[in-house]
Amino acid sequence: MTEDVGVSRGRLVLRRFRRRRIALFGLVAIVFLVLFAFLGPSLSKWNYSQKDYNAFLQPPSAQHWFGTTQIGADVYAQTLRGLQKSLVIGFLTAIISTGLAAIVGAAAGYYGGWTDRVLMWFVDLLLVLPSFLIIAILSPTFQGKTWLLFVVLLAGFSWMITARIVRGLTLSLKEREFVRAAEFMGVSSRTILFRHLLPNMSSILIIDATINVGGAILAETGLSYFGFGVQPPDVSLGTLIADGTKSALTYPWLFVFCGGLLILTVLAVSLVGDGLRDAVDPNSESSRL
Amino acid sequence: MVKFMARRFLNYLILVIVATSLGYLLAAVSLNPRSNFEGRNPAPPKSSVDAKLDALNLNDETPVLTRFKTWAGGVVHGDFGKSIDNQPVSSEMWRRMGVSLRLLLVGSVLGGFFGIALGTISAIKQYSAVDYGATLGSFVLLAIPVFLLAVLLKVAALNINKWAGTPIFYYTGEFTPGLQGSWWDHTWDRFQHFILPTLSLVLGQIAFYGLYQRNAMLDVLGSDFIRTAQAKGLRRRTAIIRHGLRLALIPMATFFAYEFGLLLTGATFTEKIFGWHGMGEWFIDSVTKNDVNAVATVTMFAAVLVLVAGMMADLAVAILDPRVRSS
């Protein structure tokens, strides 16, 4: 260890993170993707809902940077629109599901007894039912309604594994002196949960939220691919890929850009998550690159 | 040990029953089979629509719990009700189950085996070119969803076929319909159809298990007991395989139980994209057709498979870890 004495923990983590070039690459890629998704549309004169009736199924050109679709829509504008939606859904879902996991896991671990048993049984139940199946079954109920409902469902069925990790951490934290001291001072259990237990595992929660972004984007695009997720007129990378797949061989531009951006997004997020995990816990020796 | 497994089994059994019931109830509330019959032109009278729905136990005017009782009563006797096309669900299920099981079995066995092998090699040769390549490759593979990977494989196969001048890979269905020839021709034909769908599932599995196995193995390699084993005269290879690998496999068994649900989801895409008529394809088609009984049956199939995977994981942990057996 070459780190000097007296460096704050945040600075230490930052320094370790910076040392991982590949994680840094992931971070740069995410920043680039977010900027591209939200600022990119203004660079082109085409809107995602506009149709160019003089250009059906044209390959990429100076007019249409990513080409056009069967009905003359601009693929560049549509792809960026889809990327926006997938990114927003991914981040929102990850934040909600990690928050839920933190509360459920910490409550189960801290209260123990029947609370623990009931909550963990519920976790087991949701793990037996693949979330893809449940959300697909429920898809008719949110069709024609806001996509935020879809986010709530995605988050509602993706918090279980993180909750188990949080529960395990809580079990070991609650024996520590500072929690004991707070208990003896008569601090309410809810305050102990939110002020003492959860902040002490914030790094794990941040890492898990990052990793969950990738999972959420994959789940969203998978469901949207079959028409069970984002509904027209909204587009996401999943619906775009579904449309492009049929003509992937003959009109590759309908498929290459949305597919490539999806892979890049998920890859970047998982590299950052992995880099963060290594930076916070250098002993984990996880899949270091 | 037997008692431990029996208790786990009972726990899983209750979970499957609750999960299946939940699957049925959600499907019955969310899907709308009435629209299948009403949407015709000219619009049929309400009484005839009701009669058809009643015959299939799909009438949304019957209380959902009554419908569920009828369905569950049938399931206990092996009757899963009628599909929306008035066919018995169970015969369809038996036909499709084999297709999915073949895919899932090969997917998890090959994926688990090669993943563990890759992860172990990566860990032993940490920081080598092999390690970097395998780890980065795994990250990339995990970022590619099955439906994208399947298309990429199709494109690659098409180019290889074109280059070879003869079809080497097929990407629709399980076999060539109406193929004439010997037993060997049929087997070869099935194999040609088998490769791409299997790859679309197995590659992700290898990446997943590879990364976790690498982590688990790295934790183990640094531990004292490996050094002790070597100090007492074991060769490093024997020490790693006999003492290290065994310990590193324990967390993998737990991951197997979790990962199986995802594999099941992945298989749905594989079946749909490569035209294999399995349970996953059936599920997607049934949800779009508002076929409540079929959807509930697939949910039960999924829950039972996750149960079996969980039991196998428990058994593996008990075999690998003597502490679990004695407690």
Q: Give the integer Cα–Cα distance in Å for A97 and A75.
A: 32
> Binning pLDDT at 50, 70 and 90, where does residue B166 land?
confident
CA distance B133 to chain A (A): 10
pLDDT tens sequence across B217-265: 888 887 888 888 888 888 888 888 888 888 888 888 878 877 888 888 8
More confident call, B209 vs A247:
B209
Of 3.40.1130, 1.10.3720, 2.60.40, 3.30.160, the CATH number of A35-261 is 1.10.3720
> Which of B115, B50, B68, B135 lies closest to B296, judged by CA?
B68
Tokens of B309: 């995977």
- The count of structural domains within chain B is 1
- In terms of residue numbers, what domain contains B72? 2-326
Q: What is the separation, in whole angstroms, between the first and last Cα of chain B?
A: 9
Residue B85 has pLDDT above 90, yes or no: no
According to the model, what pLDDT value does residue A231 have?
A: 83
Q: How many helices (H) and strands (E) does chain B have?
A: 14, 0
Q: Give the integer Cα–Cα distance in Å for B174 and B269.
A: 15
pTM of the model: 0.87
According to the model, what pLDDT value does residue A1 have?
A: 43
Interface test with B, best of A20, A117, A133 (most B CBs within 10 A): A133
> Binning pLDDT at 50, 70 and 90, where does residue A29 land?
very high
The DSSP code for B50 is H
Q: Give the integer Cα–Cα distance in Å for B14 and B12.
A: 5
Q: Where are the domains of chain A?
A: 35-261
> Binning pLDDT at 50, 70 and 90, where does residue A289 land?
very low
Nearest chain A residue (CA) to B16:
A128
According to the model, what pLDDT value does residue A281 have?
A: 67
> Binning pLDDT at 50, 70 and 90, where does residue B191 land?
confident
Amino acid at A253: W
Q: Domain with B92 in it: what CATH number? A: 1.10.3720.10
Residues of B in contact with A248 (CB under 8 A): 151, 154-155
Residue written as token pair 């099935």: B190
CA distance A158 to chain B (A): 12
Residue B20 forms contact with A (CB below 8 Å): no
